[in-house]
Structure 1
């Protein structure tokens, strides 16, 4: 038993048995042995102390002496356990003594220094990342996979308009024409239709105005003016009145159907035929002039 690294103690208990050893040692007057048995038994107890010169050996210099080292060939510089075997706390295959990133998450792929990498820069490490080729800027889930909330083909984080209504055509930034117009502060609508000679909006126009409402919700606190425009058919006074009524119809619809909008930020007015975008001499030109516009205002 080692008391110190170079000092050991030893204790032995032995019994010696010598058969027939006493058979002829003592006899009585008749010549018969006085000792009833001829075998000799002796008990021996010995205690010793050993001192080893030069100290114990540690061939791999890991701090665990050879006699107790279960991994006697550990490379230099590695941290070992009590048995002399290298530790790998994060279980990445790179021992602690070499691991420059000793707290790598379980499952992450590491380099020769024990450090993980994130090839697509989405903050989910390779080996854990189930979508390792995510485009830069895309938002991802815990598995490193991007998502597209509005299903328009443009990933969240890249999509400038992540709430595009389903089925809407979008540009290369993921925005519909309506969303883009609201973002830019000027939206021109040629497809908001009213009953002839009335301010009543036709049913097919309502989904379009709904999309306008959703787009306005993405710009809270911004003031907009809704303008009504007509062609030049009819008197100036009549067209002025009709355009004003139609602009207010759109405003009323937005406020009633989107209560989250702050009504104080929005106003409506008609400008009649005073601001044509095309000639009034052709049907195509007059159709271009009949429109609703939204203008961002200070």
Structure 2
């Protein structure tokens, strides 16, 4: 029997997981142990006082002195108090057939003991661990044979070897001191299997509520009982994307396109882009994201929807700034052509031939074709303003000539407006006989002075 007990102890010791944390503690406050006990009176008998030779040499002489009942004979129930201390009660039974070296007549043995213990495990090795030595003090009552029950003061040395989070192998030796010599002083050794229990784990994740930061939600030990739903190593409470695995630098959110912008902030999460465009690409680098760029492969300004401005007439003035986008012009004239001296002279050669009814401002029909050609030429210069001048010879009074010249100039202006020239670009003025170009002394000279001319308005 003894050999089987020690064989069992050796077997359990070899299967320990030494880097695991085990305990009867605040999470598993209750503890129960069942096992066997051996009663031995020899080391503390009258002839073997402690430390006189018999105690150290004979205390574990199981074959000669121990009394063992070959069945479960010990039950211990205890509760963890805190800071390594526990308080418990142990009941045991046995059959005494040896009192030291003297035989006994199978005396019945019963004992009930209270014990106050202190575990040195955490103090010596830090919190947790499988090696758990302890000391205990207490007292109890013992019944042997027909003797009256007697009280004892007890001192215990023990060792718990934790085999798992809540199971251990419990070994102890207790000296039970009877205060009267007529009662049996003795040693009691126990070996048993103990179970720690009583902790609350509401969410069933293996982490007791006292240590569980998320007691109502199953979680992981590395997160103190809190979950990591997407398994990215960031607990849900700190994960901005708890349902999708992500990266720590993005608070647990993914960056699917690898552009350094987390998907929730990326307007184009499947295509690598730029931070300035909220993660969207800009193929031509013009600052307009491709989805809004009408010319994604050709750089252009945002105000033109990402397309470059055109210069249809190739005059060096972009269409957006060109007042005459289809007609080549000059930069100085905002892209419109400028009227040259030769062009202006050509216009005047034609307009000088315009005829009016005698002493009237009415244009003769034979001059319509001439004015039509003048209108076509003037339309080629759409941002040029023209002044239509009326002139007379010296015959007649000055006031009459002045009024007639104004009316004829106005009549030409009205005709040109009728041909599609904007009135805002035309002005008319009469100068009467004040600006002759020939002598009024001859008929030929007076004919030259009776004329209409066109000049430019700056």
TM-score scaled by structure 1? 0.43
Bigger share in helix: 2
TM-score scaled by structure 2? 0.31
Q: Which has the larger radius of gyration?
A: 2
